[in-house]
A and B are shown apart, each in its own frame.
Chain A
Amino acid sequence: MFGFEEIKKSFLTSLWFMFLTFPIMVIRVNTVQNIVEWRWERMFMIGIGSFFLSFLWRYLLERKELGQKKADLGEVDSIPWNRRIAREPRFYIPALIAICVFVLVFPFTFSLYQTTIMITALIYVITGLGLNIVVGLAGLLDLGYVAFYAVGAYSYALLNYHFGLGFWTVLPIGAGMGLIFGILLGFPVLRLKGDYLAIVTLGFGEIIRLVLENWNDFSFGPSGIANIPRPGLFGIQMSLHQATIYLYFVMIFLVLVTIFVVRRLQDSRIGRAWIALREDEVACQAMGIDKTWTKLSAFAMGATWAGMAGVVFAAKTTFINPASFTLWESIIILCVVVLGGMGSVIGVIFGALTLILLPEYLRAFSEYRLLIFGAVLVVMMVFRPGGIVSPERRIYQFKGTAPDKPKAEASTPG
């Protein structure tokens, strides 16, 4: 492992990266005052960092290749830890109870600030689960997801501003608006293949943001809409603290609804059609699945959740403007899905909580947030494309056949 060859390789890599990062990292010019700042210590750090990281990189690549070879030969590793926990009631029942207790007491034991952060994380859980339908299950890369989020948020803000409608009235309307926009945008673009779809959805996302920014009469432009009311509870007056706790429980409720619906959808006829479409489009069509309709339903379903989450977002922040709905927001949600595990509900929840809560608590690193997100996307794709909690492939078994006869197993892709 640490032979001379390896050290030489790492040494060359580190030299290469020192060369590569030299102008951007080391030199900084101030063109106004004509000063050049040389930051040599950074070069030193990059050299050492890349020297050790290149060992790690090659070691992980080797391990991944070994794993692939094993899988090719049919030698499957022991069941991963997350499966084992999910199968043993003795593990998961106490875990479930612990989570429930934690969720219930959270807003009363932690400060208002913590609760607010948790609400943000829960909003990402909902959007992540929604995007998971589109990207994880149906395999359509949607980079304009935030557009539907914006549609939901602006539905609430504008309907409230013009007609004084409340949160609970607008919640289904926002979801409906998301659905309508999903169908309107999805209908023309879903004929496109993978990467084209990604670019066109990205384009749509930007179009909606730019329209919101420029159409002052409709959306109040870049200055946004303020004083959006928080969710009400039969007209009871609440303090800020109470309102936040209430919103927290509303979010928990919505997350539970989302999880329930997504899980049911996954196992339904249409859910299986999505997964089949992701695995092989041609084979899927040959089995008689209507491609356009299946894709459109996935797209619209994802947009519905985004619309709903948008309403909650507007109610939580009480102020929205187009700057909240940039492309990077879409990419953060994509990160949540990819990091957690595309297609896995638990994975997405885990991904959202990690990605949103970690930067909040590691304030020192907050400016590196997007840098780390980018690196996470690359590293995850290279080493663990399935995400942290990769989705379990369901095996459908005919009842009545002995489980020890593997030939009788009818396994569907997905």
Chain B
Amino acid sequence: MEYFFELLLSGLTRGSIYALIALGYTMVYGIIQLINFAHGEVYMIGAFTALIVASILTMLGWNEIAILFIASVVAVVYSMAYGYTLEKVAYKPLRHAPRLSALISAIGMSLFLQNYVLLAQTSDFMPFPSLIPDLEILEPIAHLITTPEIAIILTTAIVMVLLTFMIKFTRVGKAMRATSQDREMAMLVGVDVNRVISITFIVGSATAALGGVLIASHVGQINFYIGFIAGIKAFVAAVLGGIGSMPGAVLGSLVLGCAEAFFTGFVSSDYEDVFAFIILVVILIFRPAGILGRSDISKV
């Protein structure tokens, strides 16, 4: 039974990280119907930026909490900048092009960013300092769940609540919803669509960067390739929950995280990624709209 809880909690942690990335996918898809393939790369760049900042500050001998805070803020700011630039360079000129073109451009951007980090930094795994300190209050349950894991789950919950609040109650959120429903109509009523799309990319990148910092400090090492697998998994989660729906993305991520944890715990760890892809294929074949998604009917 204890083993079961252990797997469940590790699944929830894993799912929470997928959720932070999947939110960005789902927001972008909801607004411009584009699979932002380079989203995982933004996450990876966030992790790398945090690593660089944290290492420098550690050498200068700052205290742990300050390092965690500053590294996260810098990572988030840089990821936002990358997300914004990415949209301006690779997607904005293709706004009216066929969707296949935008997708190929996204793949190109993903390949470019991966190799940019590979060439500018290193192809080896870099050790990542564990930025989140272990709290003593949590000592009694440490065999079940560690402080970083609790931090990850809590962060995801907070981000989720904040995002929901933003979409539901703020002016920007209203503009986002309007844009996702009908871009031309939104323009007619005075929504600056280009700005809304930029903001969506910026917010999505910021959550991805948070995920990047958290998972890197949890796992303890990063390299240029982590964005790709994480990105694909998060995409699977977003599709599982119903792409375009934010609660769906979180739910899908948690389901995928737990399913993977149980699969590796009870069956085999060799085929972990195969299992994730099989879930994706099965979901897409039997329920293409996902768990919480609406199926769209194309009108002619």
Q: Which residues of A are interface residues toward B (Cβ below 8 A)?
A: 16, 19-21, 23-25, 27-29, 31-32, 34, 36, 42, 61, 135, 139, 141, 143, 188-189, 191-192, 194-196, 198-200, 202-204, 206-207, 210-211, 214, 282, 328, 331, 334, 338, 367-368, 370-371, 373-378, 381-382, 385
Contacts and interface: CB of A to CB of B under 8 A. Distances in A.
A207 B274 contact: yes
B289 to A, nearest CB: 11
A165 to B, nearest CB: 29
B contact patch SS: helix
B101 interface: yes
B108 interface: yes
A202 B100 CA distance: 15
B94 A24 contact: no
Interface stretch (B140-148, B178-186, B257-265, B277-285): B277-285
Given A206-B273, A211-B271, 9 more contacts: A20-B78, A191-B288, A192-B288, A199-B232, A206-B274, A374-B110, A376-B108, A381-B90, A385-B97
A189 B126 CA distance: 38
Contact of A16 (B52, B85, B120): B85
A19 B236 CA distance: 33
Contact of A24 (B85, B120, B278, B285): B120
Interface stretch (B53-61, B154-162, B187-195, B246-254): B53-61
B51 A381 contact: no
B277 A370 contact: no
Contacts of B103: 141, 194-195, 198
Given A207-B274, A373-B111, A378-B108, A282 B119 contact: no
Contacts of B48: 23-24
B2 interface: no
Contacts of A195: 33-35, 99, 103
Interface residues of B, number: 65
A contact patch SS: helix
B82 interface: yes
Given A194-B99, A196-B239, A338-B104, A20 B85 contact: yes
B136 interface: no
B99 to A, nearest CB: 6
Contacts of B284: 189, 192, 196, 199-200
B285 A377 contact: no
Given A27-B56, A381-B94, A371 B112 contact: yes
Contacts of B33: 195
Given A20-B82, A23-B53, A382-B90, A377 B105 contact: yes
Contacts of A188: 281, 285
